Structures are given as C-alpha cells and as structure tokens.
Structure 1
Amino acid sequence: MHVLTTVRALRLPDWRLFSGAVYQTVWNHQTGRPPAYGLKDFDIGFFDPDTSWDAEDVFIKRVAAAFDEPFRSTVEVRNQARVHLWFEDRFGEPYAALRGTDEALGRFVCPAFAVGVRLEDDDTISVAAPFGLDDVFDMVLRPNPNRPEAGGWARATTSAQGRWPECRVIT
C-alpha cells in the first residue's frame, strides 16, 4: 500500500504496479509467508507518448525522490511507450509499440505475471488482468498463449519455483 499511495500521489500517466509485486504478494498470502518474502522489486509501468530517454528519466527521478530506502532502490519505473525501442535488443524478440500500459500486460511471459493494479482516487484498487486471475490464485505458471515461449521462460519459472515450490509449471 505504501508504494500504491506514493505513486498515486505522483499522478503518473496511465500507471500500474504489476508483475512480481502483485502475484508474489498473493502467493505469499496463500502460502503463509511474510508479505515481502521473495519480492525483488516493485515494477511500475506508466505511459507517456514522449518516447525520449530524457522524458522517461524525469519520471524515474521523480519517483525515486518520493521514496526513502529500502523502497527507493526497489521501485523500478518504465515508460511503456518506450519498451519497443529496447526490448528486442535485450530479449531477442520483436515487440510492437504499445498504445497504453494495460496493453503491456498481454505480452508478459505468462498469465500469472500479467496482473496490474492501481490505487484510484476513491481508494479502490483497480485490477487489469487480460488472462484473468485463475493462474495467480492457483499458483500456475504457463506460457502466454499470445506469444511464443519467451527466451527467459526457463529462468523465470525456475526462479519462481525456487521461492514458491508450491507453484506448478504447465507447458
């Protein structure tokens, strides 16, 4: 909630907290582990049509300045409008430009990772989950049906099972 309330106050355009900070928190609750067990970072996606590095860096610095440690070192902010500029070089797969932050969720490695949340102005939490929530609550890792098995699939599933041996991998 600290991350959600802090980022909400910053008014980033079209933002979501997603990936590990969401599904890993659910898995910790389900398995009786401490809330922060296994969490490496808090991924924040936002969407600004200015795809320059300088524009993204302004947001990154603004978010970092809003947090004290240990959050400052673990909150990672990325403009989803820029992902297509660097994704193929980093991951070896083509990546078409996105039209918004929620669209990015449909391209995540597996459905369980593809959940984003945002704390709204009325204190409700909105959830974006293009594949639904069953895999998150069932602790299932399966390839995203809309893309070929990602190059990082084995690494991602091995890492998840190492921390949450209760999760099942279905290929």
Structure 2
Amino acid sequence: MSQSSALVARIIADDAIAMEQLRAVRSLDLPDWCIAAGFVRNRVWDHLHGIVPPREPVDIDVIYFDAGDVSRESEAAFEQRLGRLLPSLPWQVRNQARMHVWKELPPHRDTADSMVYWLESVTGIGVRLEVDDALTVIAPLGTDDLLNLRCRPTAFGRSRLHEYRARVEAKRWRKLWPRVNFIE
C-alpha cells in the first residue's frame, strides 16, 4: 500500500463510527465491495480541516460488483439488511455491474473500473474492511488529489464539466472545505 493510501486507511481506522459501518457492510459478504465517495472524501477532508468529529454523511455509498445479479431488488435487499444492522443511516447500495447503462458506457470490469467513470478524482476512492480487519483502499485514480486538498474532474468528468460544476455547487463543497482547490 502506498504511503498516501496508508494515510487514508489510518484516518478511516481512527474513526470508530466508520469502522462500525465497515463491519456492517463486511457482514453482507458482497463481492468486490467497498464504501466509497463521500464516506472517504468527507472524512479525509474533515480530518485535514481539523473538523472533529467528522460530519454525518448525507449518504453512505456501498458499491460492489456482481455481474451475475444486476437487479435493483438485490440492492434494495442489501440496503434493508444494513438498515436492520445500523438503523437510520442513509445507506445507498449500488452494483457497479449495472451502472454503465445509464452513463451509456461499455460494461465495467470491476468496482475499481467503475470508479474511473465518476466525475471527480476525490470521489473515486473507496475502503474495504478485510476479514483480517485490514483496510484496503481502492483508488484507481490515486489519493494525491484527496490528500492535497485538490478537487478536479476525472477524464470522464471533463467530458461532462457542467455536471462536475453542478455537483460541486449543489453539495456546497467550497463552503464546507474552504481550503480545497477546485480545478477544471
């Protein structure tokens, strides 16, 4: 694991609430899974801004890859199971084996491949809790932007700059994390 990925893992590991959420998702035994997006980005940026404890998430993005079952019903069942384990949390479970359809892309190969097609480099980062309690950081575009307080569109995001700009504004990231440098 790179030094930057190890730092991301340490920030998550030091957060008891994040670890409880990771344990809940691990219990589902999903294939090629992680908790990604704001779960990682927001915690790291809160940490780097000295915000303790980290703010509550708007949603908890659980992603996995299962080409054998791309039904929305399976995702809903996993959300319900997580809701029973940790009630009242904003779980959002999505099988990345079907996410290419609405983006009009070729099928994704795995979870990491799907994250390359997210709009921002700092969002395409996930963390998985392994059976031995080690954390694996999934970051197909790296973690440097996240740790260096830079937000930029991915190659896919550059093709949809209006969506990138709209997300940054709608989510109020500039206000929440004033030290972040937003790049186009």
- Same fold flag (TM > 0.5): yes
Following superposition, the deviation at residue 146 of structure 1 comes to: 4.5
> Percent of aligned positions with the same letter in both sequences?
32
Distance 1:47 1:161 in 2: 32
Contact residue 33 and residue 111 of structure 2 kept, 8 A: yes
Distance 1:40 1:28 in 2: 14
1:149 equivalenced with 2:183 (yes/no):
no
Match of 1:80 in 2: 96
Q: Which moved more, 1:11-20 or 1:48-57?
A: 48-57
TM-score if structure 2 supplies the norm length? 0.80
* Alpha carbons of structure 1 residues 58 and 37: separation in structure 2 relative to 1, 3 Å: closer
Within the candidate set 48, 60, 67, 1:42 is matched to: 60
Unaligned stretches of 5+ residues in structure 2: 1-18
1:63 equivalenced with 2:82 (yes/no):
yes
Distance 1:153 1:60 in 2: 27
Within the candidate set 158, 167, 171, 2:180 is matched to: 167
Following superposition, the deviation at residue 38 of structure 1 comes to: 6.1
Within the candidate set 4, 9, 32, 2:27 is matched to: 9
Match of 1:120 in 2: 130
Secondary structure, in 3 states, of the residue corresponding to 1:166?
coil
Deviation string, structure 1 residues 70-95 (Cα, Å, up to 9, x no partner): x2xx121111112133x24xxxxx23
Match of 1:138 in 2: 148
* Pairs aligned (count): 162
Unaligned stretches of 5+ residues in structure 1: 89-93
Secondary structure, in 3 states, of the residue corresponding to 2:155?
coil
The one-letter code matched in structure 2 to 1:137 is L
The one-letter code matched in structure 2 to 1:77 is V
Following superposition, the deviation at residue 57 of structure 1 comes to: 2.6
Match of 1:19 in 2: 37
Match of 1:91 in 2: none
TM-score if structure 1 supplies the norm length? 0.86
